[in-house]
């Protein structure tokens, strides 16, 4: 009974020990004396508001940043992770949200990148061995991924699986996933969870960052909460629930998550008729009234973003009319759309929303240049002032409007983008997944904002993959499937089941 624990079990308690980690970026104290431990064979969720320091802590673990102070031990061994290669060597694998695979190479080539098995002749690579080993590894985990498929042809979910296989090939014992489900479909998310559970069963230590607290409750064994760079709480999930986690994150109760809607809906502002585009939108028609928030549901790939792009003049229209406030628009590029009073907050802020290398202020004023100068001259002082005000309105956490945009945390970049479009004073605004990657408090702020914009008499199209938020705020819900509009429902008269059914079920 009192026999000492076998070594393997004793080691379970010490996969990772990060102790007293601090990190400062110029004026911002991103982390302050953080102590964070994880165990083998467990999923440890790391949560916190935007800018709390989650990604910074994990980048220190991955050797990307050096801490100003503190120490790291992996399986009981002190480590100095001076660069990413040393972190990989120590068994840490980081799966970023923007996956860093070589798109033009195959699955097997990616998995063996930098460690290719030698072929029969010197200086050659054995593609046969790479494929065979990849297949073997994939089979162990029941992944169905052809080793010779090109990564550029894979879905986001499959790319993640390739990243995970790459980590396993390198014998990682700690895998960090930073917001892994934010661009996955429902089905891919379910599969990712199965994979994470398998990894846990095999004794790996998974660190899981997400703003979707339902996922945390479903998947995690332990939860640690960061607030303003400090670790404020760490506990087993059995002792926690969503309201308790939120309380630790924001330091207060969050009431009124969705605002009270005062429906004051007027005449039709936007009319779309017979809209088709080269990108696969097929004969779509709908109207949005003054003061109305119209939600748009659909599975990933159903054509929701493509509608936004067709209206905004990004994708060429092959047919259809767009009428705004009684005027038929001839939009052939985004500049036309902006000039006509349309705003589009894109779903992929890094690729189609922001210029990451530019100062925050430039990103805010980019579609609003007419407000900050005369003719073609820009007044820098005015730009600074207007950007500072716009940022403050959205409570963007930054060193100042001149800070480089890529120094902002993911969620704060999203707020920056919203600040930009608020400044544009458009009559019709499209929000494509505006709450992706932002924390619970900021989500509530965005819902409040949508509500206020509607009350000011704007027409809003709100595209989202999360049904609860569509049901929480939209007056009507449009449902898309395969490029077609298959449902136009009054929110109060429908159910999530009906929406899901329309979005997913193929009729003949
Ligand atoms: N390279 C950098 N240069 C300057 N400041 C930075 C840099 N990286 C992060 N920061 C700052 O450090 C703080 C913590 O950022 P971090 O990215 O770790 O937050 P996060 O918890 O991951 O937030 P999110 O949920 O929005 O992704 C933020 O205030 C951010 O602006
Ligand atoms: Mg982050």
Residue 353 is given by DSSP the state: I
Atom from ligand 1 closest to the CA of residue 398: 31
Given pLDDT bands bounded at 50, 70 and 90, which one contains residue 490?
A: very high
Partners of 152 in beta bridges: none
Minimum CA distance residue for ligand 1 atom 27: 410
Choose between 118 and 183: higher pLDDT: 118
Q: How far is CA 74 from the centre of its chain?
A: 29
Residue percentage of the chain with pLDDT more than 90: 64
Minimum CA distance residue for ligand 1 atom 8: 407
**Which residues, judged by CB distance below 6 Å to any ligand atom, belong to the binding site of ligand 1?**
25, 28, 30, 48, 50-56, 397, 407-412
pLDDT digits 0-9 by tens, 31-75: 999 999 999 999 999 999 888 999 999 999 999 999 999 999 999
Residue for token digits 């760079």?
229
Torsion sign across C-alpha atoms 343, 347, 349, 353: negative
| Predicted pLDDT of residue 108 | 94
| Predicted pLDDT of residue 253 | 63
Angle at 239 between CA 258 and CA 35, to 5 degrees: 95
| Predicted pLDDT of residue 379 | 86
**Average pLDDT estimate for 268-286:** 96
Atom from ligand 1 closest to the CA of residue 211: 25
Give the lowest-confidence range in 106-115, 177-186, 316-325, 430-439.
177-186
Give the lowest-confidence range in 2-16, 94-108, 151-165, 463-477.
2-16
| Residue 251 CB contacts under 8 Å (≥ 6 apart), including other chains | 227
Minimum CA distance residue for ligand 1 atom 28: 51
- Rounded Cα distance, 6 and 250, in Å: 41
What Rg do the C-alpha atoms of the chain give, in angstroms? Answer: 25
**Average pLDDT estimate for 346-367:** 89
CA–centroid distance, residue 59 to ligand 1 (Å): 10
Question: Domain-by-domain residue ranges, the chain?
Answer: 7-250, 269-341+426-508, 357-424
Q: Which ligand is nearest to the CA of 177?
A: 2
| Predicted pLDDT of residue 393 | 87
Q: Which ligand is nearest to the CA of 57?
A: 1
Minimum CA distance residue for ligand 1 atom 7: 407
pLDDT of residue 11 exceeding 70, the answer is no
Q: Name the CATH architecture for the domain at 7-250.
A: 3-Layer(aba) Sandwich (3.40)
CA–centroid distance, residue 352 to ligand 2 (Å): 19
- Rounded Cα distance, 443 and 435, in Å: 6
| Residue 318 CB contacts under 8 Å (≥ 6 apart), including other chains | 276, 277, 278
pLDDT digits 0-9 by tens, 161-173: 999 999 999 999 9
Minimum CA distance residue for ligand 1 atom 9: 407
pLDDT digits 0-9 by tens, 75-103: 999 999 999 999 999 999 999 866 778 98
Residue 441: both structure tokens together: 């408090």
| Predicted pLDDT of residue 352 | 84
- Rounded Cα distance, 129 and 41, in Å: 30
Residue 183: both structure tokens together: 């661009």
Give the residue ranges of DSSP H helices in 12-74: 54-61
| Predicted pLDDT of residue 27 | 78
| Predicted pLDDT of residue 7 | 40
Give the lowest-confidence range in 172-181, 182-191, 249-258.
249-258
Q: Which residue from 55, 230, 231 has its CB within 8 A of the most atoms of ligand 1, so it is best to mutate?
A: 55
- Rounded Cα distance, 268 and 285, in Å: 13
Minimum CA distance residue for ligand 1 atom 10: 407
Instruction: Kindly report whether the global pTM for this prediction surpasses the value 0.75.
Output: yes
Residue 307 is given by DSSP the state: H
Domain 269-341+426-508 is classified in which CATH homologous superfamily?
P-loop containing nucleotide triphosphate hydrolases (3.40.50.300)
Given pLDDT bands bounded at 50, 70 and 90, which one contains residue 506?
A: low
Given pLDDT bands bounded at 50, 70 and 90, which one contains residue 13?
A: low
| Predicted pLDDT of residue 425 | 85
CA–centroid distance, residue 308 to ligand 2 (Å): 27
Given pLDDT bands bounded at 50, 70 and 90, which one contains residue 375?
A: confident
**What is the per-residue DSSP string for 460-500?**
EEEE-S-HHHHHHH-SEEEEEETTEEEEEEEGGG--HHHHH
First to last CA, the chain: 65
- Rounded Cα distance, 429 and 436, in Å: 17
pLDDT of residue 256 exceeding 70, the answer is no
pLDDT digits 0-9 by tens, 214-228: 899 999 999 999 998
| Predicted pLDDT of residue 96 | 81
Q: Which residue from 56, 210, 231, 410 has its CB within 8 A of the most atoms of ligand 1, so it is best to mutate?
A: 56
| Predicted pLDDT of residue 8 | 40
Atom from ligand 1 closest to the CA of residue 229: 14
What stretch of H or E contains 176? strand 174-178
Average pLDDT, the chain: 90
Residue 219: both structure tokens together: 């998947």
- Rounded Cα distance, 27 and 380, in Å: 23
pLDDT of residue 462 exceeding 90, the answer is yes
pLDDT of residue 508 exceeding 50, the answer is no
| Predicted pLDDT of residue 5 | 38
- Rounded Cα distance, 3 and 189, in Å: 42
What stretch of H or E contains 166? helix 156-169
Residue percentage of the chain with pLDDT more than 70: 95
Please check whether residue 198 is in contact with residue 427, taking contact to mean a CB–CB distance below 8 angstroms. no
What are the CA-CA distances from residue 11 to residues 86, 239, 349, 385 (Å)?
22, 24, 42, 56
pLDDT of residue 141 exceeding 60, the answer is yes
| Predicted pLDDT of residue 121 | 85
- Rounded Cα distance, 97 and 193, in Å: 16
pLDDT of residue 275 exceeding 90, the answer is yes
| Residue 179 CB contacts under 8 Å (≥ 6 apart), including other chains | 97, 209, 210, 211, 410, 437
Please check whether residue 320 is in contact with residue 271, taking contact to mean a CB–CB distance below 8 angstroms. no
Q: Do domains 7-250 and 269-341+426-508 have the same CATH topology?
A: yes
SS3 annotation, 84-116: HHHHHHCCEEEECCCCCCCCCCEHHHHHCCCCC
Given pLDDT bands bounded at 50, 70 and 90, which one contains residue 252?
A: low
């Amino acid at each position: 009974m009192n026999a000492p624990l076998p070594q393997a079990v004793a080691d379970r308690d010490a996969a990772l020990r990060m102790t007293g980690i601090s990190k400062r970026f110029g004026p911002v104290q991103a982390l302050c004396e953080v102590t964070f431990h994880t165990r083998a064979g467990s999923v440890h969720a790391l949560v916190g508001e935007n800018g709390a320091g989650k990604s910074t802590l994990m980048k220190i673990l991955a050797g990307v940043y050096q801490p100003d102070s503190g120490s790291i031990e992996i399986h009981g061994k002190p480590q100095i992770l001076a660069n990413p290669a040393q972190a990989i060597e120590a068994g840490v694998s980081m799966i970023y949200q923007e996956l860093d695979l070589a798109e033009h190479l195959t699955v097997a080539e990616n998995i063996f990148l930098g460690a290719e098995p030698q072929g029969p002749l010197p200086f050659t690579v054995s593609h046969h061995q790479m494929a065979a080993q990849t297949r073997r590894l994939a089979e162990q985990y029941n992944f169905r991924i052809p080793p010779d498929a090109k990564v550029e042809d894979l879905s986001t979910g499959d790319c993640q699986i390739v990243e995970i296989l790459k980590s396993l090939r390198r014998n990682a014992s700690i895998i960090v996933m930073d917001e892994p489900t934010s661009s996955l479909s429902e089905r891919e998310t379910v599969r990712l969870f199965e994979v994470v559970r398998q990894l846990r069963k095999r004794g790996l230590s998974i660190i899981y960052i997400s703003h979707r607290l339902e996922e945390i409750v479903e998947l995690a064994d332990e939860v640690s909460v960061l607030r303003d760079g400090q670790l404020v709480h760490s506990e087993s999930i059995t002792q926690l629930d969503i309201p308790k986690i939120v309380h630790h994150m924001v330091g207060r109760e969050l009431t009124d998550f969705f605002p009270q809607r005062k429906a004051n809906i007027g005449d039709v502002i936007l009319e779309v008729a017979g809209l088709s585009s080269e990108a696969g939108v097929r004969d779509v028609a709908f109207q949005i009234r003054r003061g109305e928030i119209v939600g748009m549901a659909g599975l990933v790939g159903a054509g929701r973003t493509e509608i936004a792009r067709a209206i905004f003049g990004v994708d060429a229209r092959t047919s259809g009319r767009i009428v705004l406030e009684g005027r038929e628009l001839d939009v052939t590029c985004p500049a036309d759309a902006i000039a006509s009073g349309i705003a589009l907050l894109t779903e992929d802020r890094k690729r189609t929303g922001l210029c990451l290398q530019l100062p925050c202020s430039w990103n805010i004023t980019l579609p609003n240049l007419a407000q900050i100068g005369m003719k073609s001259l820009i007044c820098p002082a005015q730009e600074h002032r207007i950007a500072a005000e716009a940022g403050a309105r959205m409570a963007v956490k930054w060193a100042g409007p001149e800070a480089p945009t890529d120094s902002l945390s993911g969620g704060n970049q999203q707020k920056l983008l919203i600040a930009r479009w608020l400044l544009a004073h458009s009559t019709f605004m499209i929000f494509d997944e505006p709450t992706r990657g932002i924390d619970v408090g900021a989500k509530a702020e965005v819902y409040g904002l949508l509500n206020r914009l509607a009350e000011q008499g704007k027409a809003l199209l709100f595209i989202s993959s999360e049904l609860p938020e569509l049901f929480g705020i939209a007056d009507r819900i449009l449902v898309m499937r395969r490029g077609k509009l298959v449902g136009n429902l009054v929110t109060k008269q429908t159910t999530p089941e009906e929406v899901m059914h329309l979005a997913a079920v193929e009729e003949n």
